[in-house]
Structure 1
Amino acid sequence: MTGDIRMGKDLKGTELGREIHQRKDRRYEVRIYRNGVSKSFYVKTASEARTLHKKYSKKQKDVGLCGIDEIYSMLRIEWAGHIQEDSLKNYDYHYRILSQYLTNMPLNEVTPAKVQSVINKLQQEYLWSTCRQIVNMLRKIFHRAWENGSVSYNPIQEIKIYSEHKQLFEKNYLEQDEIKIFEQVCQGRRYCDLFLLLLYSGITIKEG
């Protein structure tokens, strides 16, 4: 059976094309591969078989031009009925956050640098747990895109998400409430004037 499908011939030995062959019952079988899984379709004529194969081949190629929205929609359809409604709503919530940054962007334009930039911004605005779930969802999206052949590599593999207790960047300034506390602590101390000069001028201790 596998040999017949690979050669793509009818019962008379005429070549039909890849993934198409004629069975002993004279029907034509079209084998379609999607997401690493094969599925067979059966039609009555060779013409119908070629048309069907061409249709699915074109659809598979078109996926590479679609955006993240389309891949997420595919996944959501698959998830519906297989996971709890609350879990589905949770995915939708996190995708709405993500879509503010990557909505409608073609898959072939999404680079590791672009994704990392988005994650960095998210970590400045949302809780670590929220960012982690968004990254996990992105991994699912691009894993499916990679399975479909929509992307040649997975840009999420190199993404880094900082731990819950590690700051995204090193803060080298004081907030307004911190400045007030600093001023109160300085009052009456020997180098209070010097500390305040450094605070408001921005010069270094050596320059002071």
Structure 2
Amino acid sequence: MKAGKNMGKSLNGRELGKGITQRKDGRYVARFVDRYGNRKNVYASSINEIRLKLKAAQFDEANNEMVNCSVTLKKWFESWLDIYKKNAIRVGTKTHYNMIFSKHIEPYLGDKFLSEIKPSDIRKLINNLENNGLGYSTQSRVKIMLVDMFDKAIMDDLIRKNPAKNIKLNKGDFNRRVLSKEEQITFFECSKGTYFDNLYVVAVTTGMRIGEICALTWDDIDLKAKKIHVSKTLTYQKFEGDDCKTFHIGPPKTKTSNRDIPISPKCEMALKKQFILRNNIMSRHRIKPIEGFENLLFVSRYGRPLCDQTIIDSIDRIVNEINSYRDEAELFDRISPHCFRHTFATRCFEAGIPPKTVQILLGHATLDMTMNLYTHVLDDKKDEAVVALDDYYFDIEQQGDVVIEDDFKKAILNSRKVVNFEI
């Protein structure tokens, strides 16, 4: 007969029961999880004694009295913020916590008693956030806050278990993430002076794919016309006939990806700095570029072509640096190199650039692709357009009121003239 799951054995192979094992020195140890979610051990010199001790410990945990179980989540949030966070967070972070709770948590769980809240309630809350279009970043902040609040409630003997602890979040596709304006400022403030800063700037100011940027040579840069000619892409893959992964230069993703992209002043400065950096690296004696890739503009510190993973690792270092100074509820979410492309497109729409122009800049094969990818931004622009239209109509109506008022005054004056004439 097979041993059950987590069934322990004695030194001679005899089954002892779930969670019970015998150590090499002959003593028995039993493991269980307490109400705080921590693993606990009890010890004994005989199998009967260890079983009694384990049952006693489990009974104590199961029957541990709870006090103040009528405290609501809203009331506990106020206590938690005042007691546990008062001197541990900045004023701005406290404001951020208040916003998260009042906007995303209180409407659904604020009036529930702590002892009534179950994992299913937390799951429903997270699902509701997702259904309302709120992404992983917001869901993560809500969960982090709730986990800490419930942990502190356990410490105060208000509840036995943390209902938010094992809730899994759907991270989704972090490639589709867009930097907010504030996040964009934060990231580039932290990336200043780093090796790949020029690449980040070119990516976010042109919307080029990372493979297109990594395939650039100085011949593709036309500073006089202020344009970048995109005609190729760099990949690091194992193609048929290759012994292993290697670098390849090939055509862009689609025919429409062959395009000219305007160079902004910020982008021009980054390109010039990269030109100097690249020449300094390639002039070193130890540098031996790969044949066929000698003229690449963006290279590693060893003069080699760049692969996606190298850039991903460099971005992770920037994000980790940002997060080293932040509270858990304000962590900067991980981003991919493709995030710069989505951020560029979003900034274009926010600036009022027509979708067809954005399609051409991005090199999308169809306008539908552009529209489908950035529906959320276009929906926001619709709302702004309606507000602008309302303002426009209001101005027209105001002007109409002025005209009517002027006509009314003229009519009054004319009537007075008529009256005076008759008199």
- TM-score between the two structures when normalised by the length of structure 2: 0.24
User: Rg larger in 1 or in 2?
Assistant: 2
